[in-house]
Amino acid sequence: MVILTLNCGSSSAKYQVYDWNKKQVLANGIVERVGQEDSAIEHITPGRTPFTKKHSCPDHKEAIKLIMETISDSEVGAISSMEEIKAVGHRVVQGGEKFNKSLIIDKEALDTFKEVQDLAPLHNPANILGIEAAQAVLPSVPHCAIMDTAWHQTMPEKAYIYALPYEWYENYNVRRYGYHGTSFLYVAKRTAVLLGKKASETNAIICHIGNGASICAVKNGISVDTSMGLTPLEGLVMGTRSGDFDPAIVFYMMNKTGLSPAEIEKILNKKSGVLGISGQYIDRRDIQKAAAEGDKRSQLAIDVEVYRLKKYIGAYAASLGRVDALVFTAGVGEMAPAIRTKILEDLDVLGIKADPEKSMLSKTRNAETDITAPGSKTKVFVVPTDEELVMTEDTHALMEGTYDVHTNFTYSFQDKAYVNKSRAEGLARELKNKPQLESIVARIP
């Protein structure tokens, strides 16, 4: 059985083709610059040279068609025909309060996604376009929604209610929703395995740090707080998003400059964060390089991002009481050891001690690493996330009628014997050039 997963952004469409019976990824890739003249696809089939092709994709429907043609192509594809695809799983960023788990998409669900799309204005419209485009190309198979907000529906009222007029919540759904839930679910379950504990007995602080970034407090295996709020704008310093700031600044700048609400919203979402501070960089690799060359604003961007994260870690440690593990994931969390190591400095007061040398060594997407220092009360892990696997397993279970909310459902990656085949192969190749990495690979008790 082949399951296709799709993650459509405002100008991109990521995909993965998964053979359920063989438990392996057949192909994955991305169509970038959707809606622009220079759009192109990058397609990766394990064991083959990556395939790239420029192709005009004026909209997501054309991008989805390009994906389908590529994955079934006789030379570079992964399947012989589209009939092999038995279901499609879609990432949906915002599902509102209505949904606390994944579901098969029907008209009611799609209408709900449209109703709440202004809560995730950079994501939900693209998610919806992707769903409708895929349904048009594959009308006879079930399409499932895996929502980022579903994981956070376990937050207590004291965590998700803002100190604003309560009528805003009652009438306009103004509350904290949280995002990156699919990633947090995977990492939380894997963290429990690495600790040798049941998920329901595990407390963890998980830092999902990428271009978009958020942090989640997990108590007894469920989300009890997170940094993103009504929209993905609140919380940590991100690539182009501001994160936390005094809301009065909005009115101050509108009065000073005459900026409109739409212009302010664009600035906060697309021109702030580390880009806003550095003035020119979004990619942390570029920022670190510029800082090393003496660019003071780039260094300041790093310092502000690190400081904000440390404050949230301290706050969540206080709210949890007991922290079994502090975990890093996503692009920066996994692959920017210099930034991660700065975040981990001086957390001893919280009982969190990481080994700086181990942290600097950990830079891989092929293995879970343990960077804990001797004497630390709290384990420190780096766990490469796998949102696509969660999407695939939810989709399969929905088709089989075995799916349930995550506290009543067991994923394959919760098994101690679970092995990601492609990552294991990647690690074996990586160890040939970096054998010292073996010393920090996390061991399952």
Token pair for 161: 């209610």
State how far the Cα of 240 lies from the Cα of 9, in Å rounded to an integer.
15
* C-beta of residue 204 within 8 angstroms of C-beta of residue 281: no
Exposure string of 18-36, with b = 16+ CB inside 10 Å and e = fewer, is bbbeeeebbbbbbbbebee
Beta bridge partners of 382: 328, 369
**What angle (nearest 5°) sits at the alpha carbon of residue 17, between those of residues 14 and 21?**
155
Question: What length is written for the chain?
Answer: 445
* C-beta of residue 279 within 8 angstroms of C-beta of residue 268: no
What residue has token string 């998409």? 105
Q: How far, in Å, are 12, 45, 70, 313, 374 from residue 15 at the CA level?
A: 10, 12, 11, 33, 41
In which region does residue 178 sit, left (phi positive, over 0), alpha (psi from -120 to 50) or beta (all else)? left
Q: Which residues have CB under 8 Å from 81's CB, separation 6+?
A: 72
Token pair for 278: 């550095």
348 assigned to active site: no
Helix (H, G, I), strand (E, B) or coil at 114: helix
In which region does residue 120 sit, left (phi positive, over 0), alpha (psi from -120 to 50) or beta (all else)? beta
Side by side, the strands of the sheet bearing 143-147 are 51-54, 40-44, 24-32, 12-19, 2-8, 85-92, 143-147, 103-104
Token pair for 213: 């970034």
Q: Which of 38, 106, 111, 148 is catalytic?
A: 148
State how far the Cα of 5 lies from the Cα of 90, in Å rounded to an integer.
6
Four-point Cα dihedral 392, 395, 401, 405, nearest 10: 80
Active site residues: 148
